[in-house]
């Protein structure tokens, strides 16, 4: 999955958890939980739905790194590349 596809998936997943948002108006470099006003349950649902959509398991220790849309996209891209067949780890 390329970066743009990952970004679209992240925004679609976010919209499924917070349908009131307008993904095109989000600033992808801003703190995500503030930008979208996600509570703890919404945050966990978002991460769980991302796991289902992408197959990438996100351990709780990594949650603190996922502070913006850009950070989530970069994290998923890196994890997808490191687990794809033929990748060198």
Residues in the chain: 89
Report which of 76, 86, 82 is spatially closest to residue 10, judged by C-alpha positions.
76
Q: What is the mean pLDDT of residues 66-80?
A: 95
**Distance, CA of 35 to CA of 56 (rounded, Å):** 24
pLDDT of residue 89: 40
What letter would DSSP give residue 22? -
Here the tokens at position 24 are: 């095109």
pLDDT of residue 51: 96
What letter would DSSP give residue 63? G
Per residue in 21-70, pLDDT tens? 888 888 999 998 788 888 899 999 999 999 999 999 999 999 999 999 99
pLDDT of residue 88: 44
């Amino acid at each position: 999955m390329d970066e743009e596809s990952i970004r679209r998936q992240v925004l679609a997943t976010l919209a499924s958890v917070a349908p009131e948002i307008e993904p095109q108006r989000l600033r992808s470099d801003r703190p995500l939980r503030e930008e979208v006003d996600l509570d703890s349950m919404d945050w966990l649902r978002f991460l769980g739905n991302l796991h289902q959509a992408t197959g990438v398991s996100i351990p709780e220790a990594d949650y603190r790194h996922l502070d913006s849309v850009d950070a989530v996209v970069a994290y998923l891209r890196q994890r997808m590349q490191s687990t794809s067949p033929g990748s060198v780890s």
